[in-house]
Structure 1
Amino acid sequence: MLDSKKVKLGIAPIAWTNDDLPDLGKENTFEQCVSEMALAGFTGSEVGNKYPKNVEELKKALELRGIKICNAWFSTFLTTKPYEETEREFIKHITFLKEMGATVVGVSEQGHSIQGTDLAVFDNKYILNDEEWDMLCKGLNKLGKVASDIGITLTFHHHMGTSVQFLSEIDRLMEGTDERYVNLLFDSGHLSYCGEDPLEVARKYKDRIKHVHLKDIRREVVDSVKENKESFLTGVRKGTFTVPGDGYIDFEPIFKVFEESNYEGWMVVEAEQDPSIANPLEYAIKARKYIKEKAGI
């Protein structure tokens, strides 16, 4: 079982309001979102677009509910834009996270990404060339050093529809970056979605995984997205993702790997669904009960 003194549980606001598909959960307020997070038994949150931008206002709202900010997504464009543009925005982003008391930032390379487009997610993924791999790895090392200097750990988020999706691409990224500055954000759902084994990845990179997204998939929906050549976001609308314990993935051996590696940090339930179909509070409670049963925290 995991150690509750070392491992903290958070949940992402994307179950309440979807930043990529604003019509999903447009009726749900920030206050409802964080109140229901707390009610379901979570103590951490990532950052959504409806969250107050003012640090003191956000801190007050979260402290009332016993919630802390643990991470916030950051899009890099290291393969398509000058490095300086990404670094400038990155510094603003991690400064905000530092002020909120977070110690981790989740970075995803969005150069050439198709995750937000209408393109078929299984058929149109971009493959980086050697020059682009060099740009990506060198850029991440630089950003990781910038983050490290202020006490923030950079974790890289492999993601469907991006240039780092498959295990072979994760391998190349890990091999090409400095472990002092670049670590891995492990996402069970995205690994299973593209056909990789999340247990294998957990075992292989247990020493460089510094942030965890607990996401389950509905295999029949994934198969439908692939067969019908649909986009990533179409899959979200159809219910590709769900919370741990409600889908395809067996999390018990994955939790065991993190127990054996003495993982310390946040584990975050992240399952974007249509909240009018999958009530966010109901699914948050379902996830919390499952994690308690299987991980002991």
Structure 2
Amino acid sequence: MKIGVFLLIEPFASVEVQLQRAKSMGFDCADITDTNSGGSMLATAGFSPTVSLDDNPFEVKRLFEQYGIQPSTVCAHAGLLEPSNPATYATAEIMKAIRFAAAIGIRDVVTTDMDPKSTWAKNLSYAEQVFVVAEKLVAPVAMAADYGVRVLLEPHGPVTGSIRGLQDVMDRLGSPESLGINLDTGNAWLGGADPVEMATVLKDKIHHVHWKDLDEQWESKRGTVFGCGFSTIALGDGVIDIKGVCDVLKNRDIKSSTLEIIGDEDMLRRSVEYLHECGVKSSATAPAPV
């Protein structure tokens, strides 16, 4: 399992600057972390690390190759619980992400439901939530199968944040091979699930991992918040049983994983070393001490 990094290392910087930083720290794979349809004003000005899904994917691939970094997934996190709206990132963008990924040989596109924001979404029953999420994914999952791509659900919302929710959405869609899971250790724990149990129950569908650890200050928010974006501590320094997850997944055929950690190079280095100690094999070197 390769250990990569999220390309949000340098604030207000382009994808190329993020790649430069990742390469300098010894990483050789990374997620295409932020994506958008059309053009982005800030990205055009070089102040945002977003990739346009309407760009030529081969140009993006060449940019990654320039720094010796392999793109591991395309992130397409969506508002799957929200009413359908051209202004809301959802089905259309996920389908664009699938085409983008397939064109340059990326196997996995990661998406999720996220916290409901509208009154309509907040008032959905559990059964309605599952239906709404599944309905928005019917066409993307079918397209992914044709393109040889997988759509991976990440724990990041009231449905995906539980083992039951992930299972119910997958069952509603018929559990095809083109649908799997990206286990986010921090989000799963924060949403109230046990990441080790989630890994154990769903291990056959887990194809990528986002590594986060959280400190005890998050305990009071557990079960009420479904995603935190990043960890601010090194793996092994918090309350999440990262080693337990590693024990379940370390012998699975999972090609890559990603550190979702905001911090200095030493924090990232210690996180890589901790995963190595937990038995996660990686071809990448840990970032050099600073």
The residue number in structure 2 matching 1:4 is: none
Equivalent of 1:88 in 92, 96, 118 = 92
Unpaired stretches in structure 2, ≥5 consecutive residues: 35-47, 283-290
List 4+ stretches of structure 1 deviating above 6 A.
none
CA 1:243 to 1:176, structure 2 compared with 1: closer, same or farther past 3 Å?
farther
Equivalent of 1:65 in 52, 67, 91 = 67
The residue number in structure 2 matching 1:265 is: 255
The residue number in structure 1 matching 2:219 is: 223
Equivalent of 1:106 in 106, 110, 125 = 110
Structure 1 residue 291, shift from structure 2 partner: 1.8
Q: Deviations over 1:152-182 (max 9, x none)?
A: 101111215x443233323322332322132
Indicate whether 1:172 and 2:171 are aligned: no
User: What is the aligned-residue RMSD (CA, Å)?
Assistant: 3.3
The separation in 2 between residues aligned to 1:199 and 1:126, in whole angstroms, is 30
Structure 1 residue 125, shift from structure 2 partner: 6.8
Structure 1 residue 11, shift from structure 2 partner: 1.1
The separation in 2 between residues aligned to 1:67 and 1:251, in whole angstroms, is 25
The residue number in structure 2 matching 1:153 is: 150
- Specify the SS of the correspondent of 1:106: strand
- Specify the SS of the correspondent of 2:112: strand
Q: Tell me the amino acid that sits aligned with residue 23 of structure 2.
A: A
Structure 1 residue 142, shift from structure 2 partner: 2.9
The separation in 1 between residues aligned to 2:151 and 2:136, in whole angstroms, is 12
The separation in 2 between residues aligned to 1:263 and 1:82, in whole angstroms, is 36
Relative to the length of structure 1, the TM-score reads: 0.74
Higher relative contact order (CA 8 A, sep 6+): 1
The residue number in structure 2 matching 1:50 is: 49
Structure 1 residue 256, shift from structure 2 partner: 1.8
The separation in 1 between residues aligned to 2:17 and 2:148, in whole angstroms, is 31
CA 1:254 to 1:52, structure 2 compared with 1: closer, same or farther past 3 Å?
closer
CA 1:131 to 1:250, structure 2 compared with 1: closer, same or farther past 3 Å?
closer
The residue number in structure 2 matching 1:12 is: 6
The separation in 1 between residues aligned to 2:123 and 2:186, in whole angstroms, is 20
CA 1:35 to 1:290, structure 2 compared with 1: closer, same or farther past 3 Å?
farther
The range that moved more, 162-171 or 203-212, is: 162-171
The separation in 2 between residues aligned to 1:156 and 1:51, in whole angstroms, is 20
Relative to the length of structure 2, the TM-score reads: 0.75
Do the aligned residues in 2 keep the contact of 1:141 with 1:182 (CA within 8 Å)? no
Q: Aligned pairs, how many?
A: 260
The separation in 2 between residues aligned to 1:171 and 1:153, in whole angstroms, is 16
Q: Deviations over 1:62-117 (max 9, x none)?
A: 2122111111221444544449994433222222222332110001124x624xx9
Unpaired stretches in structure 1, ≥5 consecutive residues: 1-6, 18-24, 118-123
